[in-house]
Amino acid sequence: MIRVVLVEPEGEYNVGFIARLCKNFLVDELYIVNPKVNISEAIKFSAGGKEFLENAKIVNNFNDAIADVDIKIATSSIADNKGDILRKSIKPWELFPLIQGKRVALIFGRESVGLTREEIFKSDFLLHIPANPSYPVLNLSHAVGIILYEIWKNRGILNNPQTSTISEHSIQLIDKYTETLYKLLKRSDEDYKMYIAMKRAIIRGVKDEEEARVIVHFLRKLYTRIIHNEKEMSNVS
């Protein structure tokens, strides 16, 4: 269960964009603590995520927004200042193992001043998105987007362990036609390299069965074109 918590957001467009992102990345709940924006203005920026604003839970204080979750993740663009244990951060790609299977609140502070130290203290971790050290401050909704994307990505990758393989039949045909073409062109013993390099590159690089079939078709047409021409030529001579 993923809950996004916005603490005193100040920009209509950010609140709207975040609702849209909640829909894009299948968030479960949106909580807003003491909003400084007009929600009906924000809806204009929410596109297909409008329902998240219509159903957003508006609360008056921070504690109400983090009640009944298992793990609370504060966020900040200021992190890892030397000697400041509270601001030691985890990175977005370290988040998933911590929250997997749990009820999590992802907590985002005010555009102007972020979260207070007290709010960070009440949370379990501080998450920081690394960026250009000379200007690391992301706009609020863009930070939300990156973190939700990173969680979504990990959910998806875990569910399907890379089953994008191509059939043995297509591998055989790629092998056969690259070999046949190389034999047509072969001048020296060194030329076997053409066959090996091409075959391997294609088999490594091909994305799925559909792409494999198009490539086999291409190789076969190259072959028949050469053979066809050379038959014609031998008929003439």
Residues in region 173-202 near a copy of itself by CB under 8 A: 181-182, 184-185, 193-198, 200-202
Residue type at 168? Answer: E
Q: Which is nearer to a copy of itself, 59 or 71 (CB)?
A: 71
Which residue, among 97, 82, 86, 92, has the nearest Cα to 129 in the 3D structure? 92
Residues in region 147-176 near a copy of itself by CB under 8 A: 149, 152-153, 156
Note whether 137 binds a copy of itself by CB under 8 A.
Answer: yes
Separation CA 227–CA 224 (nearest Å):
5
The H or E element spanning position 52 is helix 50-54
Which residue, among 104, 73, 102, has the nearest Cα to 90 in the 3D structure? 73
| Given 58, 67, 131, 158, the residue binding a copy of itself (CB under 8 A) | 131
The Cα-based distances of 142 to 16, 34, 97, 126, 226 in angstroms read 12, 21, 22, 17, 54
CB atoms within 10 A of CB 165: 12
CB of 114 to a copy of itself, least distance (A): 15
The span of 60-68, 102-110, 114-122, 131-139 binding a copy of itself (CB under 8 A) equals 131-139
Residues that bind a copy of itself (CB under 8 A): 13, 17, 20-21, 23-26, 47-49, 82-83, 85, 88, 92-93, 129-132, 135-139, 141-142, 145-146, 149, 152-153, 156, 181-182, 184-185, 193-198, 200-208, 210-211, 214-215, 217-218, 221-222, 225-226, 229-230, 232-233, 236-237
